[in-house]
């Protein structure tokens, strides 16, 4: 555990200072107890030797003063160490996360990341100080006491020495159970967090269906499971806790008996007997405290394991000497394959999109269109073959250079809760007013901006929810225009939009697709988009089953022709209906 903390802690000198400080404090406690022997000796003599007492009292006073000063220092040192640890760990996590493949960010992983960065880091930084220090004291003080006891009576020393490993053995049993139960509790707590988020997100649907009350069932279930796991854990820990308390009690009584027996045998004096009684009490006190610490220590160790696991997540492999120059806006796939885990999704796919061309990807749901687009943007790396941009394998390209030349327009557009203007400026912070207006016009946003009372300064609300889906997509198209990226990846909205939005988006997409400076790859759902593309790729179960210009494919009378035919029939049927 200490090794893990030491590995995780980026500023090792702070943790070293804190450890040394606590070891000194624990040793000082032992020394102060040992000093009781000569002091009591001098006091209980028939003729007390006051000059010797003065020396011992002065030395004891100095040791006690040192103890007080170090205790006063240890609080701020601990507090600042805790703050530093939290800050540095959070920075480490953030810089690591920015290098993860985009495909890593699933809903589960995002929830886990939130817990890692808040609860886990908080627990580690706080406990490393508030629990770590007493844990050091709880180990060192009994050891110091055994040493002092040996100086007074080796028999008592041996007895204490035997008690200690037995107590530690039982403590290990408690620790194992505490660690296992903490893992179970953390899993249940993460589920509660997930259910709470889902409950918030599903409120609109639940209320529309009149199921507000029933909607809490999943969260209540998660809370109940958490309670059950907690109660089971408590029951499981009862026996080892009793075992530990029993061991300490038996040890304590044995020391008292042996001390009394040896005293009656006149093996040592009254002061030594008094000190041994005090030592026996001080011996079990910190060890007894350990049962309270052990659960927290194991929780801290588990939190450290989770953060370590996150920090060890493989990042997107980056080339040693990345290529910074993208020669042309061509996109090429050479015999690529990809699988999510064991599930192959893309197999032996090859195509070439020349600079300035528009390629429409079509295929049934689940055929792999989105995955293909994600692979081009390096959300994941292909498992076989290569994707090339401007003739260079994207794994050899500088990642930022590549992403600066790619704009992605997805269906679920994320907008920050800032103004529309600020949302566009994310794509190009130094854009001029005329560039902004030009991009807005090309993305068919002008009319919407004129209609909104605050125009460009309209706040988009959390995730852009104050704008309709179509409006959000147009904002993201405007971002793509502004970014001046040469490669544009689009996922055209598949769901029905209102006629105004549909017209505006089709026009905006046509504007971007017909721009000869841009290479567009679009997951297309509307025949008008597909028919205006230079090439169409038809996917089925991750394989290319047809590829060519829309005109040639129509003549082939294959899958593409069937898709257009079906669309026409649906349209006629709707008009007739
Ligand atoms: N993150 C993921 N993890 C595991 N499997 C996935 C993941 N994303 C997609 N899949 C699976 O990969 C296959 C292809 O999915 P993909 O989303 O690429 O298809 P699609 O053609 O874009 O579908 P749609 O038109 O419905 O969006 C599907 O079987 C899907 O279930």
Q: What pLDDT, in 10s, does the model give residues 433-467? A: 888 998 888 888 888 888 888 888 888 765 555 67
Mean pLDDT for the chain?
83
Predicted pLDDT of residue 575:
45
- Find out whether the beta carbon of 538 lies less than 6 Å from any atom of ligand 1: no
Predicted pLDDT of residue 371:
93
Cα(371) to ligand 1 centroid in Å equals 6
516: region left, alpha or beta (phi > 0 left; psi from -120 to 50 alpha):
alpha
CA 292 to chain centroid: 28
CA dihedral 261, 262, 265, 268 (to 10 degrees): -140
- Find out whether the beta carbon of 105 lies less than 6 Å from any atom of ligand 1: no
Cα(385) to ligand 1 centroid in Å equals 20
Average pLDDT for residues 199-207, to the nearest whole number? Answer: 79
User: Is the Cβ–Cβ distance between 539 and 351 less than 8 Å?
Assistant: no
266-299 pLDDT per residue, tens: 777 787 888 888 888 888 877 777 777 887 888 8
Predicted pLDDT of residue 11:
66
Cα(312) to ligand 1 centroid in Å equals 27
- Give the position, in ligand 1's atom list, of the atom nearest the Cα of 370: 22
Cα angle for residues 186, 187, 191 (degrees, 5° grid): 115
Contacts of 162 (CB under 8 A, 6+ apart): none
Predicted pLDDT of residue 472:
82
Average pLDDT for residues 548-568, to the nearest whole number? Answer: 86
- Find out whether the beta carbon of 365 lies less than 6 Å from any atom of ligand 1: yes
- Find out whether the beta carbon of 363 lies less than 6 Å from any atom of ligand 1: yes
Task: Name, of 63-67, 145-149, 224-228, the range with top average pLDDT.
Answer: 224-228
Q: List the 543-548 sheet strands across, edge first.
A: 406-409, 487-491, 519-523, 358-363, 535-540, 543-548
- Find out whether the beta carbon of 411 lies less than 6 Å from any atom of ligand 1: no
- Find out whether the beta carbon of 401 lies less than 6 Å from any atom of ligand 1: no
Cα(368) to ligand 1 centroid in Å equals 6
User: Is the Cβ–Cβ distance between 448 and 424 less than 8 Å?
Assistant: no
User: Is pLDDT of 573 > 60?
Assistant: no
Contacts of 378 (CB under 8 A, 6+ apart): 101, 102, 316, 387, 394, 395, 399, 402
Distance, in Å, from the CA atom of 97 to the CA atom of 305, rounded to the nearest integer, reads: 17
3-class DSSP state for residue 541?
Answer: coil
- Find out whether the beta carbon of 153 lies less than 6 Å from any atom of ligand 1: no
pLDDT-derived band at 195 (thresholds 50, 70, 90) equals confident
Q: Which domains does the chain have, with CATH numbers?
A: 2-179+243-311 (1.20.1560.10), 322-405+485-577 (3.40.50.300), 413-484 (3.40.50.300)
User: Is pLDDT of 577 > 50?
Assistant: no
User: Is the Cβ–Cβ distance between 522 and 360 less than 8 Å?
Assistant: yes
pTM, to two decimals: 0.64
- Give the position, in ligand 1's atom list, of the atom nearest the Cα of 343: 5
ipTM for the predicted complex comes to 0.97
3-class DSSP state for residue 577?
Answer: coil
478-502 pLDDT per residue, tens: 888 888 889 999 887 655 556 676 6
Which residue has the CA at smallest separation from atom 7 of ligand 1? 340
- Find out whether the beta carbon of 366 lies less than 6 Å from any atom of ligand 1: yes
Which residue has the CA at smallest separation from atom 2 of ligand 1? 340
């Amino acid at each position: 555990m200490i090794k893990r903390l030491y590995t995780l802690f980026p500023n090792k000198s702070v943790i070293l200072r804190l450890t040394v400080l606590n070891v000194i404090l624990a040793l000082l406690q032992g020394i102060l107890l040992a000093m009781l022997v000569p002091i009591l000796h001098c006091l209980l003599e028939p003729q007390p030797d006051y000059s010797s007492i003065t020396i011992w009292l002065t030395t004891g006073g100095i040791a006690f003063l040192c103890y007080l000063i170090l205790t006063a220092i240890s609080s701020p040192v601990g507090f600042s160490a805790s703050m530093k640890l939290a800050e540095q760990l959070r920075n480490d996590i953030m810089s690591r996360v920015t290098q993860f493949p985009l495909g890593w960010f699933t809903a589960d992983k995002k929830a886990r990341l939130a817990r890692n960065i808040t609860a886990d880091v908080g627990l580690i930084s706080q406990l490393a100080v508030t629990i770590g220090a007493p844990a050091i004291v709880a180990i060192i003080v009994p050891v110091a006491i055994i040493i002092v006891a040996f100086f007074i009576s080796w028999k008592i020393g041996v007895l204490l020495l035997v008690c200690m490993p037995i107590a530690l053995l039982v403590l290990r049993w408690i620790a194992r159970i505490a660690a296992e139960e903490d893992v179970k509790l953390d899993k249940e707590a993460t589920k509660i967090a997930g259910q709470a988020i889902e409950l918030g997100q599903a409120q609109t649907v639940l209320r529309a269906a009149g199921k507000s009350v029933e909607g809490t069932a999943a969260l209540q279930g998660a809370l109940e499971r958490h309670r059950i796991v907690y109660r089971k854990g408590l029951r499981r820990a009862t026996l080892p806790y009793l075992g530990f308390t029993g061991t300490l009690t038996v040890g304590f009584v044995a020391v008292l008996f042996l001390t009394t027996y040896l005293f009656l045998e006149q093996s040592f004096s009254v002061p030594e007997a008094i000190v041994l009684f005090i030592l026996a009490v001080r011996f079990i006190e910190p060890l007894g405290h350990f049962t309270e610490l052990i659960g927290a220590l194991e929780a801290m160790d588990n939190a450290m394991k989770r953060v370590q696991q996150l920090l060890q997540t493989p990042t997107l492999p980056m080339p040693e000497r990345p290529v910074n120059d993208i020669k042309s806006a061509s996109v090429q796939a050479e015999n690529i394959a990809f699988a999510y885990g064991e599930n192959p999704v893309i197999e032996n796919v090859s195509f070439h999109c020349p600079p300035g061309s528009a390629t429409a990807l079509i295929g049934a749901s689940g055929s792999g269109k989105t995955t293909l687009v994600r692979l081009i943007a390096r959300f994941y790396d292909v498992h076989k073959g290569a994707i090339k941009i401007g003739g260079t394998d994207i794994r050899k390209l500088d990642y930022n250079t590549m992403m600066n030349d790619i704009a992605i327009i997805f269906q679920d557009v994320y907008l920050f809760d800032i103004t529309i203007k600020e949302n566009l400026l994310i794509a190009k912070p130094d854009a001029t007013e005329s560039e902004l207006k030009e991009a807005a016009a090309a993305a068919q946003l002008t009319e919407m901006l004129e209609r909104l009372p605050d125009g460009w300064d309209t706040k988009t609300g959390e995730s852009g929810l104050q704008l309709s889906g179509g409006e959000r997509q147009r904002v993201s198209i405007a971002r793509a225009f502004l970014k001046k990226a040469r490669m544009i990846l689009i996922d055209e909205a598949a769901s029905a939009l209102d006629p105004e939005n549909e017209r505006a988006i089709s026009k905006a997409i046509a504007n971007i697709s017909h721009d000869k400076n841009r290479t567009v790859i679009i997951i297309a759902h509307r025949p008008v988009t597909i028919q205006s593309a230079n090439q169409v790729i038809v996917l089925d179960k991750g394989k290319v089953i047809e590829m060519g210009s829309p005109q040639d494919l129509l003549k082939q009378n294959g899958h593409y022709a069937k898709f257009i035919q079906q669309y026409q029939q649906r349209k006629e049927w709707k008009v007739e209906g």
